Amino acid sequence: MATSIKFQGVNCTLSPPSKIIGMQQKTGGAMHALSDKTQVVTCWRLSAEELAEIAETGVVWMRIKGQEMPPTSVSGLCMVHIKGEPAEVETEDDEETAKQAMN
């Protein structure tokens, strides 16, 4: 499953509701996000298996837990720009360093 990654402009961390059993383990817990009064934007790193499947099929699946469906977007292009430039994202090396620091 894709993992939420930090990106330039992140201003909050979202956690799954406690009533959604297993979500913490499946997502690794926190979702890094940029939130303002009109939107919440997150950035995800896909696994090698997911990237291979997308390359083969050209499709991406999205699931939103709950009863209401807010307007959503999925894109391979950056949705956050800082001073007119695409926001920088955390690299895989940054993620690995953070994981090692936690152990």
Closest CA to 87 of 28, 2, 10, 3: 10
pLDDT per position as a tens digit, 67-89 = 777 888 899 899 999 999 999 99
Q: What is the pLDDT of residues 20-68, one digit of tens each?
A: 555 555 555 678 999 998 999 999 999 999 999 999 999 998 887 777 7
Rounded to two decimals, the pTM is 0.74
pLDDT value at position 80?
A: 93
Counting the structural domains of the chain, the total is: 1
The residue range of the domain holding 47 is 3-102
Is residue 97 over pLDDT 70?
no
